[in-house]
Each structure stands twice: as structure tokens, then as C-alpha cells.
């Protein structure tokens, strides 16, 4: 069956003109084997009715979707990589395939990864490894389950090529991924037009983002609109980074080309989830200084926002841009508390200071005891109502001593949020679903060695159970 009646193409970005993207074509792959289609995400944009053959035609061979822009474009951008400016970036292995509205009327991009070379590939082959694709599906699902703003891996298709990579045993299998996210306009997209001294294009891009993503900004003019955009992006970024901190997610490569205007986690590369509380935990082997370590992610968000504001100085006012960036630290502090309390299944305490005090004591206990990050949140979901369960569970031995008591004594100031969720079967299990590196490597090893996908599918089913457990009883 073709697309459903909910399908609403709206290729907005393509209208910005040739300075924003270059027409490209996908490579002709030797094989197309459908590995994953996110049927839930597909439903949100009217693509759930595609047969598997039609799906592969659009997301493996990139035949144009009905009434969609043609051809797709590799987006142009620059960016700071590990704080060094690189004017040679751009979509080197992906493109914007189309844009469409979801059921709520919000615009979504269909962005590819691994679809072949583009004018921005430099020395790269334009490809994605199957392992990279599998990792992106898992990480995005895990963050989505925990309510963290993220792109969704809509489609993963194995493509039958052999790739050479320094960070995987090679040759390694290839794949092409399509992700859905609200925008692929990066901080680095603005940086490019600032670097090339093109204020009219900066204005066009700000106007585009205001019209499509932040319509209330249209009431502002010129410099105020630019500052308003920075402020809105700062708030969205604060929410996203706060979500990572509660999930124990370490993105790994927080360059300015990997942060977008709608504040969604994307471009999953060497990400990891924390095994235990550790501010210095680093995901990427090439991040030797720990620049993007778990505990430095909030600061990386701020640094990147400063670059975004800096890029807008040709069309903005320094004072109001600076002021806009200043919205980030307090918004992050508040969002981090909210995200951690949400992860604990607790309401804010009546006395505002108690929130910070309890959460600081919690992190101190977790770091010193080395208790499993995910295990701790699983055991103590709902706070005191879970005391008996936590103390009877596999981590009971961790829950004693001075550091533990220093945290535990605050708990009676916190009420559970929707404790009915504890009756979900997910919380009857002693172990949480987690995605620490050993688990990811183990499920990948089964695929690599025996083409056995059972571990991958089991993990996705467990993540779905987590999502349902956390959402149960809530209207959204």
C-alpha cells in the first residue's frame, strides 16, 4: 500500500536556495535487506502503510516520495570540532531526503546516513557501518523511552558492502539509515554563513527557523528575532542536555555540527551510557582530554551556544545575544533537577532547596559506592515506596553506610509521582534495561558472528517495556 492519508509532504528547507545544500543522489547498493522499521514513528507521518518493498524503494533506493522535493540535498555547514573551527564540513555521508508534517502539524526531516558520497565527503566513503546503524537505533530508542528529546531511527537497511574502518574489525558490513528529526539545521549551519560573510543568508536562515520551528518569534524583528532564536535554542538545548544527564547518556562528540536548532540528540557515534556515576566518564576513544566527558556535557552545550550567538553577531546585537545565551545555565539547572526527579519517579519537594540537596547527596553516594547507574534508578523509582523492594533486590548490599544514609534521610520530603506505574511488569523485574557498552558489544557480536538478531530485538522489546512502564497512567 502507498502512503496513508496522514502523509503530508512539505519540503520547506529546499526553498532556501543553492547556498544551503547541494543536489545529490544516493549510491546504488548491491543489496537491500530491511533490518528495522520504526512503525510507531512511521505512523506519526503517514508512512506506516508502506509495504516492505515500498519501504525499501524509498529508504534503501531513495525513490522520491509522493510530492516530495527532488533531488535530495547534502546540507552545507561548518563547525567547531573539539573546539577547532573546520570550514570543510557538510553532509559527507547523508542528505536531506524530504520533509513532512506529523499528525500535530510539526515539520519533520527525513535525513539519511550512509547513502553515499557527496561534495562534502572529503576522504570519506560516504557509508555507514551496520554496527553504527544498529547502535543508532538502540540509543535513540533508549533516550526516547526516557522522554529525552531525540531523533528517531526510522529505517535501517543492510546494503551488502564491505567497509574498512579503523574502529571496527574490518571489512565490516554496511547499512543505510533514515532518521526522523525536526531539524537538521545545526549551530554550524549558521557558522558557515557567518564565516563566509553572508549576513543576508544568516537572516534568511533565522527567518526560516522562526517561521518553521519557533513561530512566536515572527512577532520580533531583525536583531531581536536573532536573539530570540538563540534564547529558544538555549532553552531547548538545556532540556536535551538535562535529559542526557538523567539518562546517564554520554553523546561523545558534542561538536557544533552535532547540535541542532530544535534541541534534539542526534548524530549518534561513539556514545555510551554510564555504568556508574562518574563525571569523567568519556565515550569516544579519540577524546583524549575528556572534553566531552559525562560531567562536561552541560559546559559543552554552553560553549556551543556561544558559538551560535557569535555567528549571529553580524545580524544581531551583542548585548541581546549575550543575554540570550545567559538563559542557558539557570534553565539547565532547573531542567536537570526536573529530569533527575522524573527518572526517580518523584515530585519536586515543597522546599525548593531540598531538591538540589537531595540530588547532590544522591550523586555523591552513587559515585562513591559505584552502584549501577541504571540499577539505582530502577530500585528507587518512587522513592520510599520502593524501600522494601530496593533492600530486597540484587543491589541491597550497596544501600548502607554513611553516604547512603546522607542521601536516604532526604527521601521522606519527596512524594512519588504516579506510583501506580510501579505495578507495571517492568518494575517487577529485578534488573533494569540498560545499554552499557558490554551489552551493546554482546548483541552486536551475535549479529557479526552468526547473523543472529535475537539480542537486538530482545533489547528493543525491553526498551519498549521501559517506555510503557514510565508512560503508564499518563495521558500523553
By CB under 6 A, tell whether 90 contacts ligand AMP: yes
> Which of Mg ion, ligand AMP, none is residue 23 near (CB under 5 to 8 Å by kind)?
none
Nearest to 3 by CA among 74, 98, 71: 98
Asked if the bond preceding 259 is cis, omega within 30° of 0, the reply is: no
> Which of Mg ion, ligand AMP, none is residue 417 near (CB under 5 to 8 Å by kind)?
none
Min separation Cβ 329 and ligand AMP, Å: 26
By CB under 6 A, tell whether 168 contacts ligand AMP: no
Lookup: cell for 445: 557480536
Min separation Cβ 93 and Mg ion, Å: 9
What is the footprint of ligand AMP within residues 424-463 (CB under 6 A)?
A: none
Which stretch in 19-27, 250-258, 358-366, 419-427 sits in contact with ligand AMP by CB under 6 A? 250-258
By CB under 6 A, tell whether 22 contacts ligand AMP: no
Nearest to 184 by CA among 208, 158, 157, 215: 208
Quick check: 107 and 213 in contact, CB under 8 A?
yes
Position with the least CB separation from ligand AMP: 124
C-alpha distances out from residue 185 to 29, 78, 116, 202, 332, Å: 28, 11, 20, 12, 22
Nearer to Mg ion, 112 or 258 (CB): 258
Min separation Cβ 255 and Mg ion, Å: 7
**Interface residue list for Mg ion (CB under 5 A):** 257-258, 267
Place of cell 532526604: 410
Which stretch in 85-93, 145-153, 297-305, 330-338 sits in contact with ligand AMP by CB under 6 A? 85-93
One-character DSSP codes across 227-295: HHHHHHHHHHHHHHHHHHHHHTEE-S---GGG-BTT--B---SS-EE-SB--TT----TT-TT-TT-GG
Compute the half-sphere exposure of residue 145: CA atoms within 13 Å on the CB side of its CA.
Answer: 24
Quick check: 171 and 159 in contact, CB under 8 A?
no
Dihedral, 401, 403, 407, 409 alpha carbons, nearest 10: 50
- Answer for which of 126, 228, 248, 263 binds ligand AMP (CB under 6 A) is 126
Nearer to ligand AMP, 99 or 172 (CB): 172
- Answer for which of 120, 214, 266, 380 binds ligand AMP (CB under 6 A) is 120
Tell me how far apart the alpha carbons of residues 193 and 205 are, in angstroms, rounded to a whole number: 9
- Answer for which of 22, 91, 136, 158 binds ligand AMP (CB under 6 A) is 91
Nearer to ligand AMP, 71 or 455 (CB): 71
Quick check: 13 and 20 in contact, CB under 8 A?
yes
Nearest to 237 by CA among 332, 163, 320: 332
> Which of Mg ion, ligand AMP, none is residue 90 near (CB under 5 to 8 Å by kind)?
ligand AMP
Nearer to ligand AMP, 127 or 378 (CB): 127
Tell me how far apart the alpha carbons of residues 131 and 460 are, in angstroms, rounded to a whole number: 15
467 Cβ neighbours under 8 A, 6+ residues apart: 144, 145, 146
Min separation Cβ 79 and Mg ion, Å: 8
Nearest to 294 by CA among 245, 236, 254: 245
- Answer for which of 267, 374, 398, 417 binds ligand AMP (CB under 6 A) is 267
- Answer for which of 15, 87, 124, 473 binds ligand AMP (CB under 6 A) is 124
- Answer for which of 37, 76, 80, 127 binds ligand AMP (CB under 6 A) is 127
Q: Is 257 a catalytic residue?
A: yes
> Which of Mg ion, ligand AMP, none is residue 124 near (CB under 5 to 8 Å by kind)?
ligand AMP
By CB under 6 A, tell whether 186 contacts ligand AMP: no
Which stretch in 86-94, 195-203, 346-354, 404-412 sits in contact with ligand AMP by CB under 6 A? 86-94
By CB under 6 A, tell whether 232 contacts ligand AMP: no
Lookup: cell for 422: 510501579
> Which of ligand AMP, Mg ion, none is residue 126 near (CB under 5 to 8 Å by kind)?
ligand AMP
Lookup: cell for 102: 506529523
By CB under 6 A, tell whether 258 contacts ligand AMP: yes
In sequence order, the β-bridge partners of residue 34 are 157
In sequence order, the β-bridge partners of residue 172 are 163
Strand, helix or coil for residue 336? helix
User: How many residues sit in the footprint of ligand AMP (CB under 6 A)?
Assistant: 16
By CB under 6 A, tell whether 269 contacts ligand AMP: yes
Q: Which of 91, 109, 239, 257 is catalytic?
A: 257
> Which of ligand AMP, Mg ion, none is residue 157 near (CB under 5 to 8 Å by kind)?
none
Nearer to Mg ion, 75 or 138 (CB): 75
Binding site for ligand AMP (CB under 6 A): 89-93, 120-121, 124-127, 253, 257-258, 267, 269
Active site residues: 257
Amino acid at each position: 500500500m502507498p502512503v496513508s492519508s496522514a502523509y503530508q509532504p512539505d519540503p520547506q528547507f529546499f526553498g532556501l536556495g543553492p547556498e544551503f545544500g547541494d543536489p545529490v543522489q544516493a549510491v546504488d547498493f548491491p543489496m537491500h535487506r530491511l533490518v528495522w522499521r520504526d512503525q510507531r514513528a512511521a505512523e506519526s507521518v503517514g508512512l506506516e502503510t508502506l509495504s516492505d518493498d515500498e519501504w525499501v524503494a524509498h529508504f534503501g533506493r531513495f525513490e522520491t516520495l509522493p510530492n516530495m522535493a527532488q533531488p535530495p540535498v547534502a546540507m552545507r555547514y561548518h563547525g567547531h570540532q573539539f573546539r577547532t573551527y573546520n570550514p570543510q564540513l557538510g553532509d559527507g555521508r547523508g542528505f536531506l531526503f524530504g520533509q513532512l508534517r506529523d499528525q500535530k502539524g510539526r515539520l519533520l526531516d527525513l535525513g539519511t546516513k550512509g547513502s553515499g558520497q557527496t561534495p562534502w565527503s572529503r576522504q570519506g566513503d560516504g557509508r555507514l557501518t551496520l554496527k553504527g546503524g544498529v547502535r543508532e537505533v538502540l540509543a535513540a530508542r533508549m533516550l526516547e523511552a526516557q522522554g529525552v528529546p531525540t531523533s528517531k531511527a526510522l529505517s535501517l537497511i543492510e546494503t551488502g558492502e564491505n567497509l574498512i574502518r579503523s574502529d571496527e574489525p574490518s571489512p565490516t558490513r554496511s547499512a543505510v539509515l533514515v532518521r526522523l528529526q525536526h531539524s537538521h539545521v545545526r549551530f554550524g549551519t549558521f557558522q558557515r554563513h557567518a564565516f563566509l560573510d553572508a549576513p543576508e543568508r544568516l537572516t534568511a536562515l533565522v527567518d526560516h527557523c522562526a517561521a518553521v520551528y519557533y513561530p512566536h518569534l515572527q512577532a520580533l524583528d531583525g536583531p531581536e528575532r536573532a536573539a530570540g532564536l538563540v534564547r529558544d535554542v538555549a532553552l531547548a538545548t538545556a532540556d536535551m542536555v538535562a535529559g542526557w544527564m538523567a539518562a546517564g547518556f554520554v553523546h561523545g562528540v558534542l561538536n557544533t555540527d552535532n547540535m541542532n536548532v530544535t534541541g534534539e540528540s542526534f548524530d549518534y557515534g561513539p556514545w555510551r551510557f554510564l555504568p556508574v556515576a562518574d563525571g569523567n566518564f568519556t565515550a569516544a576513544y579519540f577524546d583524549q582530554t575528556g572534553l566531552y566527558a559525562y560531567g562536561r556535557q552541560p559546559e559543552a552545550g554552553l560553549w556551543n551556544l556561544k558559538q551560535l550567538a557569535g555567528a549571529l553577531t553580524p545580524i544581531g546585537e551583542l548585548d541581546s545575544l549575550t543575554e540570550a545565551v545567559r538563559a542557558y545555565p539557570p534553565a539547565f539547572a532547573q531542567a536537570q533537577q526536573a529530569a533527575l526527579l522524573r527518572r526517580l519517579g518523584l515530585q519536586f519537594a515543597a522546599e525548593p532547596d531540598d531538591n538540589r540537596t537531595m540530588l547532590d547527596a544522591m550523586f555523591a553516594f552513587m559515585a562513591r559506592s559505584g552502584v549501577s547507574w541504571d540499577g539505582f534508578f530502577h530500585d528507587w523509582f518512587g522513592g520510599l515506596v520502593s524501600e522494601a523492594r530496593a533492600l530486597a533486590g540484587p543491589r541491597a548490599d550497596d544501600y548502607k553506610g554513611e553516604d547512603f544514609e546522607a542521601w536516604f534521610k532526604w527521601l521522606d520530603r519527596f512524594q512519588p509521582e504516579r506510583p501506580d506505574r510501579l505495578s507495571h511488569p517492568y518494575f517487577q523485574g529485578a534488573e533494569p534495561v540498560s545499554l552499557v557498552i558490554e551489552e551493546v558489544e554482546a548483541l552486536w557480536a551475535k549479529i557479526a558472528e552468526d547473523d543472529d538478531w535475537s539480542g537486538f530485538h530482545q533489547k528493543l522489546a525491553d526498551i519498549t517495556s521501559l517506555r510503557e512502564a514510565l508512560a503508564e497512567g499518563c495521558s500523553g
